[in-house]
């Protein structure tokens, strides 16, 4: 009985907080009282627009989150988007959410849109991120560059020559990802560290070109250094990131620094159009709670990059295999019955 009273009290309290803190839009206060286990949402019937970009986990996660929204009766639309310009599109309302804001690649574009207004920081995933240059572990096992993963091993000419390719002019090659991800970051870093005489940066046309390079280098028995990231399917496959001098705020040249630093231990953030919590309060509350771990995100990429599934099929499989994970976010999404202390802490009613 005591428990029941407590539950009722908490429910009323949370609804009150929600109503007070959401803006004066009339539908949002009515939907906040919707009861649990409701599969027909009172959110707007306008589709929630989810962007897709050019790496696997992001696309699978787009369909995973879209599937979660559909499970409560929402409509969803997917739109291929430029991974830098998308934050401006969200600010303007052409795209509704972003579910993988990687700090190193997109932090600047995200900050700029947030500061202009119209885009909200919707919290971080549990997974932390690293986006940096590295190599498959067999490079070390074959002794192709003694001293790795310390970056100073790259100063050796006998190391660099093991990483030469037909397009690298006799230098060792770093294969960066598509230039849209980091612009001139890696060429600037390479020069700043004094490696320009021995190494050069080339840009891959796609993420798939990075994975093709891993396979080709292994077959040819030559060294390879590629841009990669974690969480990714390669976490399980044996991939090591180079240890560059540590990142600190302002160290990269774009921020006015000397560029002699590696990438940060970064966030993986979510963002929403500022009107989303009013137009789709239930979906917005669920999206606030959504938080994926490193292994969950790695598994989403693995279904595509290792198992060669289509992104949408991979998402369906992920949702079917992980109901226990995501149903905890949709059940009672606007009701306090299942709230525990963790939900109170992570819920940021603004
Ligand atoms: C943004 N990315 C995951 C490709 O580094």
Non-local (6+) Cβ contacts of 6 within 8 A are none
Residue 38 near residue 332, CB atoms below 8 Å: no
Q: What is the pLDDT of residues 63-93, one digit of tens each?
A: 999 999 999 999 999 999 999 999 999 999 9
| 163 CB near ligand 1 (under 6 Å) | no
Q: How confident is the model at residue 136 (pLDDT cuts 50, 70, 90)?
A: very high
**Structure confidence by residue, pLDDT tens digits, 172-196:** 999 999 999 999 999 999 999 999 9
Does the structure show a pLDDT above 50 at 99?
yes
Residue 230 CA, ligand 1 centroid: distance in Å: 8
- Pinpoint the residues of the chain covered by CATH 3.40.190.10: 43-126+269-346
The rounded Å distance from CA 104 to ligand 1 centre is 8
| Residue 210 CB–ligand 1 contact under 6 Å | no
Rounded to whole angstroms, the Cα distance separating 46 from 305 reads: 33
pLDDT, residue 41, reads 81
Average pLDDT over residues 212-222: 96
Q: pLDDT-based confidence at 346, cuts 50/70/90?
A: very low
Tell me, using a 6 A CB cutoff, whether residue 102 lines ligand 1: yes
115 CA to centre of ligand 1 in angstroms: 23
Residue 338 in this model has a pLDDT that exceeds 60: no
Q: Cα of 58 to ligand 1 centre, how many Å?
A: 9
**Both tokens of residue 72?**
């409560």
The residue whose CB lies within 8 Å of the most ligand 1 atoms, and thus the one to mutate among 181, 203, 210, is 181
- What does the alpha-carbon distance between residue 315 and residue 67 come to, in Å, rounded to a whole number? 8
Mean pLDDT of 287-302: 98
* Cα 41 to averaged position of ligand 1 atoms, centre (Å): 33
The pLDDT assigned to 274 comes to: 98
Tell how far the Cα of 102 is from the centroid of ligand 1, in angstroms.
Answer: 6
Q: Where in the chain is the domain with CATH 3.40.190.100?
A: 130-255
How far separated are the first and last CA of the chain, in Å rounded? 32
* Domain covering 130-255, topology: D-Maltodextrin-Binding Protein; domain 2 (3.40.190)
Mutate to test the pocket of ligand 1, among 99, 105, 294 (most ligand atoms within 8 A of CB): 105
Query: What integer pLDDT is reported at residue 39 of this predicted model?
Result: 56
CA separation for the pair 87, 114 (Å, rounded): 8
The whole-model pTM stands at 0.84
Q: Which residues contact 23 (CB under 8 A, 6 or more apart)?
A: 278
CATH number of 43-126+269-346: 3.40.190.10
Protein residue closest via CA to atom 4 of ligand 1: 55
For residue 335, what pLDDT is reported?
44
Instruction: Tell me how far the alpha carbon of residue 298 lies from the centroid of ligand 1, in angstroms.
Output: 13
Examine the pLDDT at 22 and tell me if it is beyond 70. Answer: no
- pLDDT score for 5: 45
DSSP structure class, residue 151: G
Indicate whether 25 pLDDT > 90. Answer: no
Q: Is the CB of 233 under 6 A from ligand 1?
A: no
More confident of the two residues 17 and 313: 313
Rounded mean pLDDT, 49-68: 98
Q: Tell me the CA distances in angstroms from 212 to 146, 243, 284, 305, 329, one per residue in order.
A: 25, 24, 38, 11, 37
pLDDT at 237: 83
User: pLDDT at residue 36 above 90?
Assistant: no
CB 144 within 8 A of CB 281: no
Residue 2: burial class (beta carbons within 10 Å; 0-12, 13-18, 19+)? exposed
Is ligand 1 within 6 A of the CB of residue 110? Answer: no
How much of the chain, in percent, has pLDDT values that exceed 90? 82
Nearest atom of ligand 1 to the alpha carbon of 55: 4
Residues 226, 291: contact at Cβ < 8 Å? no
Instruction: Evaluate if residue 18 carries a pLDDT over 70.
Output: no
Reply yes or no on whether the pLDDT at 10 is more than 90. Answer: no
Mutate to test the pocket of ligand 1, among 52, 54, 56, 58 (most ligand atoms within 8 A of CB): 58
The better pLDDT of the pair 51, 338 is held by 51
Average pLDDT of 158-168?
97
Q: Which residue did the predictor score with more confidence, 136 or 27? A: 136
348 pLDDT exceeds 90?
Answer: no
DSSP letter string over 13-48? HHHHHHHHHS-S-HHHHHHTT--TT--S--S-SSPE
Q: Which two structure tokens, joined as six digits, stand for 105?
A: 């690649």
Answer yes or no: are the C-beta atoms of 52 and 62 closer than 8 Å: yes
CA–CA dist 4, 105 (Å, integer): 48
| DSSP secondary structure of 79-103 | EE--TTTHHHHHHHTSS-EEEEEEH
Q: Which ligand 1 atom sits nearest the alpha carbon of residue 57?
A: 3
C-alpha of residue 21 to centroid of ligand 1, in Å: 35
Query: Which residues make Cβ contacts (< 8 Å) with residue 76, sequence separation at least 6?
Result: 47, 48, 49, 50, 66, 69, 70
pLDDT in tens, 235-294: 988 999 999 999 999 999 999 999 999 999 999 999 999 999 999 999 999 999 999 999
Mean pLDDT of the chain: 88
- The answer to whether residue 2 scores a pLDDT higher than 70 is no
Q: How far apart are CA 95 and CA 88, in angstroms?
A: 9
> Given the DSSP bridges, would you call strands 172-176 and 199-203 parallel, antiparallel or unpaired?
parallel
Q: Residue 253 and residue 228: Cα distance in Å, rounded?
A: 21
């Amino acid at each position: 009985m005591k428990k029941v009273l407590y539950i009722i009290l908490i429910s009323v309290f949370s609804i009150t907080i929600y109503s007070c803190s959401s803006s004066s839009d009339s539908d949002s206060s009515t939907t906040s009282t919707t009861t649990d286990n409701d599969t027909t949402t009172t959110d707007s019937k306008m589709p929630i627009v989810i962007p897709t970009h050019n790496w696997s986990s992001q696309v699978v996660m787009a369909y995973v989150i879209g599937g979660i929204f559909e499970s409560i009766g929402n409509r969803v639309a997917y739109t291929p988007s430029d991974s830098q310009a998308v934050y401006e599109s969200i600010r303007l309302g052409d795209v509704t959410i972003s579910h993988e804001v990687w700090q190193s690649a997109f932090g600047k574009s995200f900050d700029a849109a947030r500061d202009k207004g119209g885009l909200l920081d919707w919290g971080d995933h549990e997974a932390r991120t690293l986006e940096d240059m590295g190599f498959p572990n067999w490079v070390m096992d074959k002794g192709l560059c003694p001293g790795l993963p310390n970056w100073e091993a790259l100063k050796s000419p006998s190391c660099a020559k093991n990483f030469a390719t037909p397009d690298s002019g006799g230098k060792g090659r770093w294969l960066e990802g598509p230039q849209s991800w980091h612009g001139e970051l890696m060429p600037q870093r390479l020069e700043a560290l004094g490696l320009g005489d021995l190494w050069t940066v080339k840009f891959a046309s796609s993420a798939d070109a990075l994975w093709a390079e891993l396979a080709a280098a292994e077959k040819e028995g030559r060294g390879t250094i590629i841009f990669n990231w974690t969480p990714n399917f390669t976490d399980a496959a044996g991939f090591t990131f180079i240890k560059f001098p540590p990142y600190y705020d302002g160290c990269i040249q774009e921020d006015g620094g000397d560029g002699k630093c590696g990438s940060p231990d970064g966030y993986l953030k979510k963002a929403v159009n500022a009107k989303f919590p009013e137009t789709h309060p239930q979906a917005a509350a669920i999206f606030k709670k959504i938080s994926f771990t490193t292994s969950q995100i790695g598994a989403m990429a693995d279904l595509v990059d290792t198992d060669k599934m289509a992104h949408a099929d991979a998402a369906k499989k992920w949702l079917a295999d992980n109901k226990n994970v995501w149903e905890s976010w949709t059940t009672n999404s606007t009701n306090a019955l299942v709230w525990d202390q963790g939900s109170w802490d992570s819920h940021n009613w603004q």
